[in-house]
Amino acid sequence: MHHGSLSRTAAIDKLRFGRHTHGVDIQHNPTGTLTSASGARALEQDVRNYAGLVRSFVLKDIRTRYAGSLMGFFWTVVHPLLELLTYTFVFTVIIGVSFNDQYSTATNALFLFCGMVPWLCISESLSRCTNSIRENASLVKKLRFPPSVLCTCIVLSEAFSQVVRFSLLFGAALLVGHGLSGHLVLVVPMLVIQMFFALGIGMLLATSQVFFKDIQHLLGPALMIWMFITPIFYPASYFPKQFSPILMLNPLSHLVGVYRELILNHRVPDWGSIVIFGTTALLAFALGAFTFRRHAVEFPDLV
């Protein structure tokens, strides 16, 4: 995100501040050590105290994503629609993949997009979070605001894109006669849990990138491997049995499965998958918040 034009120092100085070091608000627990729980609480406090700044950054990111283009904000709808049509054509028409013998071409497309939508959101969030601190060095060094705002804004912005994609997916399901069910209400809490997961991993990557610049070069291949071991382009049943532990340990395989159960099969997913992904998301968020808050004081001197 490009936030140079948002450098309204006077407006930001009116916000509430705690104890600062190099402009970073660091909160410790009574024993003087920063724990994962206190790190998560401190991050929540940052978002509460700087809600106006977070909202401003997210809206600016959404507006400027297609700034200067002829159709502007309309691309927010057109872009994911083109994605849906492209993936459908390649996998169901050219390659001729059928994910289930009972699926029509339209249902195969819905199956594919159910996996692609959360993957695009998470992968984009992680890619952008990784360089968020270094790309916004001027903010980290000069403005008195917590750097965690940067990762938070990225995840919220990408979540908005996922909501748009899901809206198109739901519309497509109705259009082809597949229908929707009341179980879709569970998509909302799953999206929230997914955001905590992405934010936790994103903060870990952002922190690591400050100390090790090679992280951004390793991330691309890592994401590619992660994508192919996640049942996005194939059903989980296609995964070789000898490698089934990989599937079980992959949190995104559980997330994708939950979304497909809710959207395609119109039923409540296996609670085991929800618990596994939810637990993984909370652990990732706690670890990410702890690591980020512990090293945030060093960011201004390293970027």
Taking only the tens place, the pLDDT of each residue in 4-17 is: 433 444 334 433 33
Residue 25 three-state SS: strand
Predicted TM-score (pTM) of the model is 0.82
Task: Report the interhelical angle of 251-263 vs 105-130 (nearest 10°).
Answer: 140
pLDDT per residue over 221-258, tens digit each? Answer: 999 999 999 999 888 888 888 999 999 999 999 999 99
**Spans of the chain below 50 pLDDT:** 1-33
Query: Where exactly are the structural domains of the chain?
Result: 34-302
Q: Which pLDDT tens digit goes with each residue over 66-75?
A: 666 666 667 7
Contact partners, residue 43, CB within 8 Å, separation at least 6: 146, 148, 152, 289, 292, 293
- Cα 113 off chain centre by: 16
